[in-house]
Amino acid sequence: MLAEVWPFVQQRHGVGQRVVLARLVRRSGPGSRPLGATMAVASDGGWTGSVSGGCVEATLLDEARAVLDGAGARLTSVSPGADLMPWEPTPACSGELGVLLCPVPTGPVYAAIGAALATRRPLALSVELREPFRWSTAANRHGLPDGDDRFVEELVPGPLLLLVGATDLAAALAALAVPTGRRVVVADPRPAYAQRDRVPAADDVICVWPDEWLAAGHLGPRDAVLVLTHDPRIDDRALRAALAGPAGYVGALGSRATHARRLARLAGTPGLSRLAGPAGLDLGGVSLTETALSMLAEVIAVGNRRGGGRLRDGQGAIRPVDRITAGELVLGEAPVGG
């Protein structure tokens, strides 16, 4: 998506280079990446991002470099496996891909994208799918012109992950969670723990009782809370507040024995049945990073209404994918294996 490549775009623009975007705006059949998937190609030859599983990127690199060399912006069609011989197997995602190749927008549109991503504010972007491929922005898609001849992407801030306790595990969790688009806030009432350099990847490290922070109403249904301190004086207060609130996921670190004692202490707490404890998926991990991966994996699975099992054992769609309806980006279900 556009947000995935924007740091690259800003870095290259900052040193005076030109950048062309290749954006997936149409598709017939299944695909490995969602509509809106984007590559960014700079005039120094560097590039980042993808629009498929790797089978059309080489072709798009050539086309993007042609645009950098002065060719006009264009809406092109590419097909995975198009260069294969008739007897060679084609990829499963063999539908035709419609890709818009155009320079990065300039002026107010460029500024609006950067500001929205930096401040985590929503922004709707529209680009016409015919010359001159004009861009426009609005606070949401309802503020943009209608029509099937345009592609609309909404930049929506990712969910918030509250970590209770500025521990080493919190540092590992933050390092994994931030690249998924989540905003990570760490709350710890202990001044010796609530230090910015203890959890460098987090967006915020606050010296505050977590129940007081939660009472301010910062969380919504897409957000998650993980309680990590192993100190009941902190954890129990945080859990009571989190379970009474709207967060879609509330989990707590600890062994089964620790969790059994926790449940006994919290008996009668409203919402206790939705507490995930011990938090995490059964990965068998031992290290801090493996433990963090297990816990974050459960947060993601619950947020996507999935059980977190092995894909090889499932029967349904691997992932939700998008499609274009009336020029807007919406969600749908992909066929299995798409």
156 or 19, higher pLDDT: 19
46 and 126 co-located in one domain: yes
> Among all chains, which residue has been given the structure tokens 């290259």?
12
Measure the CA–CA gap between 307 and 298, rounded to whole angstroms: 8
**Residue 13 scores a pLDDT above 80:** yes
Does 13 map to a domain? yes
Segment 93-119 mean pLDDT:
88
Segment 244-262 mean pLDDT:
95
Convert the pLDDT of each residue in 122-141 to its tens digit.
999 999 999 999 999 998 88
CATH classification at residue 178 = 3.40.50.720
34 or 93, higher pLDDT: 34
Segment 240-263 mean pLDDT:
96
**Residue 22 scores a pLDDT above 70:** yes
176 and 268 co-located in one domain: yes
147 or 171, higher pLDDT: 171
Measure the CA–CA gap between 182 and 36, rounded to whole angstroms: 19
Give the domain extent around 223: 160-303
**How many helices and strands in the chain, by DSSP H and E?**
8, 16
Segment 317-323 mean pLDDT:
59
145 and 9 co-located in one domain: yes
H or E element that contains 150: strand 150-155
pLDDT band for position 148 (cuts 50, 70, 90): confident
Measure the CA–CA gap between 82 and 338, rounded to whole angstroms: 18
Q: What is the C-alpha R_g of the chain?
A: 23
Dig out the tokens for 121 from the structure: 């504010």
Exposed, middle or buried, 106 (CB in 10 Å: 0-12/13-18/19+)? exposed
171 or 87, higher pLDDT: 171
Segment 247-268 mean pLDDT:
95
C-alpha closest to that of 208 among 197, 220, 200, 216: 216
H or E element that contains 99: strand 97-103
145 and 187 co-located in one domain: no
Exposed, middle or buried, 113 (CB in 10 Å: 0-12/13-18/19+)? buried
177 and 278 co-located in one domain: yes
171 and 270 co-located in one domain: yes
The pLDDT of residue 88 is 46
216 and 112 co-located in one domain: no
86 and 181 co-located in one domain: no
14 and 47 co-located in one domain: yes
Does 254 map to a domain? yes
The pLDDT of residue 87 is 41
**Residue 333 scores a pLDDT above 50:** no
Convert the pLDDT of each residue in 47-87 to its tens digit.
999 888 777 888 899 999 999 999 999 998 887 655 544 44
Segment 199-217 mean pLDDT:
96
**Residue 217 scores a pLDDT above 80:** yes
The pLDDT of residue 319 is 66
Percent of the chain whose predicted confidence (pLDDT) is above 90: 67
83 and 166 co-located in one domain: no
In sequence order, what are the residues at sequence separation of 6 or more whose Cβ sits closer than 8 angstroms to the Cβ of residue 64?
20, 22, 39, 41, 47, 101
**The dihedral of CA 264, 265, 269, 273: what is its sign?**
negative
* Number of domain units in the chain: 2
DSSP-based three-state secondary structure for 187? strand
pLDDT band for position 105 (cuts 50, 70, 90): very high
88 and 135 co-located in one domain: yes
Does 325 map to a domain? no
78 or 297, higher pLDDT: 297
- Across the chain, mean pLDDT equals 87
H or E element that contains 58: helix 57-68
The pLDDT of residue 332 is 35
C-alpha closest to that of 43 among 64, 73, 59, 74: 64
Report yes or no: 107 and 122 within 8 Å, Cβ to Cβ.
Answer: no
Instruction: State the alpha helices, DSSP H only, in 120-252.
Output: 168-177, 210-215, 232-243
C-alpha closest to that of 41 among 59, 61, 24, 26: 61
**Residue 219 scores a pLDDT above 90:** yes
Helix, strand, coil % over all residues of the chain, rounded to 5: 30, 25, 45
C-alpha closest to that of 164 among 242, 272, 247: 242
Report yes or no: 200 and 225 within 8 Å, Cβ to Cβ.
Answer: no
pTM of the model: 0.80
Dig out the tokens for 91 from the structure: 């990829």
The pLDDT of residue 329 is 41
In sequence order, what are the residues at sequence separation of 6 or more whose Cβ sits closer than 8 angstroms to the Cβ of residue 92?
30, 337, 338
61 and 176 co-located in one domain: no
